[in-house]
Amino acid sequence: MTVNITFEPATPADASALVEAQIRAFHDDARLYPGVEIGGPPGYDSIEEMLKDIDKYVCHKIGCDGRIVGGIIVVDLGEGHFHLDRLYIDPDYHNQGIGSQAIGFIEQAYAATSWTLDTPTYAVRNQHFYEKFGYIKGDERQADGIRLIRYEKHQ
């Protein structure tokens, strides 16, 4: 089955649908990883915070057959360094290659010399995913009550 995936700039009109996808994606971690409580990064469930992100950062909506199924938030740290702040996909759309297409999209769309991102230490599925694309595991740190691993990739 071929799915039609699109990546477009997010607008304030998309905030509600993006938050809905984000909530579903982050809450799915509690199902995937025993002992992980339902939750997500600060503001993940707030339309107001999503509107701030859309205004402040580069946000993309991920569409599938006309429906918003996920999002991407990229932070330009300057001098060719970009930080993938968030990449999330509604769990109903997992395992269809959308995440792989999203990584390909951002790596082509930005003139990056380096990328960084953080993912929880418990999220072994995410770690495998990023490592598959050449991201290298770095330091661990504590943030907002969660232990995170920093990943880097130099282009």
pLDDT digits (tens, 9 = 90+) for 74-113: 999 999 999 999 999 999 999 999 999 999 999 999 999 9
How far is it, in rounded angstroms, from Cα 120 to Cα 107? 22
3-state SS class at 112: coil
- Total domains present in the chain: 1
Phi and psi at 103, nearest 5°, equal -65, -45
Task: Kindly tell me the burial class for residue 15, based on how many C-beta atoms sit within 10 Å of its own C-beta (0-12, 13-18, 19 or more).
Answer: buried
Confidence of residue 71 (pLDDT cuts 50, 70, 90): very high
**Taking the model in full, what pTM does it have?**
0.94
Give the three-class secondary structure for 144: coil
State the residue range of the domain holding 49.
Answer: 5-154
pLDDT computed for residue 2 by the predictor: 57
In the chain, % of residues over pLDDT 70:
98
Torsion angle, alpha carbons of 19, 71, 33, 83, to 10:
-120
Q: What is the CATH number of the domain that holds 133?
A: 3.40.630.30
In the DSSP assignment, the letter for residue 66 is T
Q: What one-letter code names the amino acid at 109?
A: A
